[in-house]
Amino acid sequence: MFIRKLSYLSLLFCIFIIGCGNKADSFNKKGLSFFEQKKYDEAIDAFKKALEINTNHYDAHYGLGVAYYTKGMIDESLTELKRAIELNPEEPKARYNIAFAYMAKQMAMEAIQEYKTAIDLFSSKKDITKEAEAHLYLSVAYSLMENHDEALLACKKAIELNPELEDGYYFLGVCYYKKNMYDEAIAALKKTIMLNPKAEKAHSVLHVIYDKLGMVEEATRERFILQQFTQERRNRD
C-alpha cells in the first residue's frame, strides 16, 4: 500500500512539474512573439513570468538578456545571459550575445573570450553561418583594441567560412585600410559592392580611400553615388 501511495504521489509531482514547465514555456513563447513585434517591455514581462514559474528556464533567461540588451539595459542583460550560461555552458547563443553586451561596456577582452568560446561551440554544432558571424565580430573586437593583425586574420576566417558574407568583405576592407594596405582595401570593398550595390558604408570608405590617394575621378564617382543614397532617403521620408 505504501509503495502504491508513494508511486501515486510521485506521479502527481511529475504532473505538477510538467504543468509548470508547460506554463513557463508558454510565457517564453509569448516573450519571443512580443520581441519579434519589437514590443520589448511586454517581452520582458513575459520572460519574467516564465522565470517566476521556472527559475532555471534557459531560454527565458536568454530571451530576457537579449531584450534587456535591445533596450540598452546592459548590466541587466549581462546578469541574465550569465545565468543562461551557468545553466547550459555548452549552448553557444548566450555566449555569442553576451560578447555584444561586454562590447557595449567596453570590455573588449571579455568579449573576445566569449566570441572564441562561441566559435568553438558553433563549430562543434557545425553551424557554419553563426561561426562565420562570430569570427566577424571577433575581428571587430580586435580592431577596437587596435590589434589589426588579429582582426585581419579573424575577418579572413569569417569569409573563408562564408564566402557570401557581405559584412565580412566590408570589414576586411576596413582592416586593410587601417593597415594602410589600400589596394587590398579597395578590392575587398568592391567585392562588398558586388554582393550588394546598395552597400552605402562600402561606398563611403571607398570615397575616403580614393580621396586620400588623390584619385579624383574615382572619388568624384563615389561622392556622386553617396549623394544619390542621401536623396533616396529624403524621398522615402
- Check residue 54 and give left, alpha or beta (phi > 0: left; psi -120 to 50: alpha): beta
Q: Which H, E and C letters describe the chain, residue by residue? A: CHHHHHHHHHHHHHHHHHHHHHHHHHHHHHHHHHHHCCCHHHHHHHHHHHHHHCCCCHHHHHHHHHHHHHCCCHHHHHHHHHHHHHHCCCCHHHHHHHHHHHHHCCCHHHHHHHHHHHHHHHHHCCCHHHHHHHHHHHHHHHHHCCCHHHHHHHHHHHHHHCCCCHHHHHHHHHHHHHCCCHHHHHHHHHHHHHHCCCCHHHHHHHHHHHHHCCCHHHHHHHHHHHHHHHHHHHHHC
Cβ of 51: how many Cβ atoms within 10 Å?
A: 21
Q: What angle do CA 22, 25, 29 make, to 5 degrees?
A: 140
pLDDT tens over the chain, length 237 residues? 333 443 434 433 333 444 445 888 999 999 999 999 999 999 999 999 999 999 999 999 999 999 999 999 999 999 999 999 999 999 999 999 999 999 999 999 999 999 999 999 999 999 999 999 999 999 999 999 999 999 999 999 999 999 999 999 999 999 999 999 999 999 999 999 999 999 999 999 999 999 999 999 999 999 999 999 999 988 887
